[in-house]
Amino acid sequence: AQSVAQPEDQVNVAEGNPLTVKCTYSVSGNPYLFWYVQYPNRGLQFLLKYITGDNLVKGSYGFEAEFNKSQTSFHLKKPSALVSDSALYFCAVRDIYSGAGSYQLTFGKGTKLSVIP
């Protein structure tokens, strides 16, 4: 079974400072990893994904994430936080060996990011 852990319920960071939102995963095979962001009263918005290749992936709005296989982590980062980045961030995983026709994503519980002006 696949699972995702986001160890922090909330992350506070000052505007202009770098931010990190942590994610670790567990799969039986190789993972496809995703970050989504949810603004209040909105749906989940895709930010970035890791499928294969370069461990550092870049996504929307200046976000990036680093895949670390040995630590089974996929932390979300941004060099300089904006107040508008304040939202709920979800990490998700799909195990590529979970079977033909299986595309379900397993989500973490989410991390609330607050960027303080």
Residue 2 in tokens: 């696949």
Interatomic CA distance for residues 42 and 106, integer angstroms: 19
114 near another protein (CB under 8 A):
no
Residue 113 in tokens: 């990011």
CB 85, min distance to another protein, A: 19
Q: Name the burial class of residue 93, with classes exposed (0-12), middle (13-18) and buried (19+) by CB atoms within 10 angstroms of its CB.
A: buried
CB 69, min distance to another protein, A: 18
What residues numbered 23-42 form the site for another protein, per CB under 8 A? Answer: 32, 34, 36, 41-42
Name the site residues for another protein (rule: CB under 8 A): 32, 34, 36, 41-46, 49, 51-52, 90, 92, 94, 101-110
